[in-house]
Copies of this chain bind each other. A is one copy, B any other.
Amino acid sequence: MTQLEKGRQGKITQEIESVAKAEGIHPEVLRQRVAEGLAVIPANPNHRGLVPCGIGLGLRTKVNANIGTSPVFPDWQTEVEKLEAALAAGADTVMDLSTGGDVKICLREILSRSHVPVGTVPVYEAAVRTREKSRPVVEMEPEELFAVIEDQAIAGVDFMTVHCGVTRRIVEGLKQRPRLAGIVSRGGAIMAGWMLHRGEENPLYAQFDRLLEICREHDVTLSLGDGLRPGCLADATDWAQLQELMVLGELVLKAREAGVQVMVEGPGHVPLNQVQANIQLQKRLCHGAPFYVLGPIVTDIAAGYDHIAAAIGGALAAWAGADFLCYVTPTEHLGLPTGEDVREGVVASRIAAHAADIAKGLQAAWARDEAMAQARRELDWGKQFELALDPEKARQIRRERNPFDQEVCSMCGEYCAIDLVNKYL
Please determine whether A232 and B373 come into contact, CB atoms closer than 8 angstroms.
yes
Pairs across A and B, CB under 8 Å, 20 listed:
A70-B411, A70-B413, A72-B404, A99-B415, A137-B420, A182-B418, A186-B412, A196-B424, A231-B377, A234-B366, A298-B315, A299-B369, A302-B351, A303-B388, A303-B394, A304-B388, A311-B312, A333-B384, A334-B397, A334-B411
Give 6 new A-B contacts, CB below 8 A, not counting A171-B425, A186-B412, A193-B423.
A181-B373, A183-B420, A197-B424, A234-B373, A305-B389, A308-B348
Known: A186-B412, A369-B301. A331 touches B192 (CB 8 A): no
A188 CB within 8 Å of chain B: yes
How many monomers of this chain does the complex have? 2
- In the complex, the chain B residue whose C-beta lies closest to that of A387 is B301
Determine the distance from Cα of A309 to Cα of B298 in the docked complex, in whole angstroms.
15
Determine the distance from Cα of A159 to Cα of B403 in the docked complex, in whole angstroms.
32
A379-406: CB near B (< 8 Å → 1, else 0) gives 0000011011110011011101111101
Among candidates B234, B358, B374, residue contacting A369 with C-beta atoms closer than 8 Å? B234
Please determine whether A330 and B420 come into contact, CB atoms closer than 8 angstroms.
no
Please determine whether B298 and A355 come into contact, CB atoms closer than 8 angstroms.
yes
Determine the distance from Cα of A271 to Cα of B387 in the docked complex, in whole angstroms.
18
- Residues of chain B within 8 A of A390, CB atoms compared: 303-305
Please determine whether A351 and B312 come into contact, CB atoms closer than 8 angstroms.
yes
Give the contacts of A105-160 with B (CB-CB under 8 A).
124, 127, 131, 137-138
- Residues of chain B within 8 A of A352, CB atoms compared: 312
A21 CB within 8 Å of chain B: no
Determine the distance from Cα of A355 to Cα of B316 in the docked complex, in whole angstroms.
12
CB distance from A416 to the nearest CB of B (A): 8
A190 CB within 8 Å of chain B: yes
Which among A374, A396, A421 has the highest number of chain B CB atoms within 10 Å?
A421
Among candidates B272, B334, B421, residue contacting A394 with C-beta atoms closer than 8 Å? B334
Please determine whether B335 and A401 come into contact, CB atoms closer than 8 angstroms.
yes
Please determine whether A193 and B393 come into contact, CB atoms closer than 8 angstroms.
no
- Residues of chain B within 8 A of A246, CB atoms compared: none
Please determine whether A374 and B180 come into contact, CB atoms closer than 8 angstroms.
yes
Determine the distance from Cα of A397 to Cα of B303 in the docked complex, in whole angstroms.
9
Determine the distance from Cα of A389 to Cα of B303 in the docked complex, in whole angstroms.
7
- Residues of chain B within 8 A of A388, CB atoms compared: 301-304
CB distance from A370 to the nearest CB of B (A): 5
Please provide the 9 A-B residue pairs with the shortest distance between their CB atoms, ordered closest to farther: A335-B401, A232-B373, A71-B413, A189-B417, A304-B393, A272-B359, A193-B424, A273-B359, A298-B355
- Residues of chain B within 8 A of A324, CB atoms compared: none
- Residues of chain B within 8 A of A401, CB atoms compared: 331, 334-338
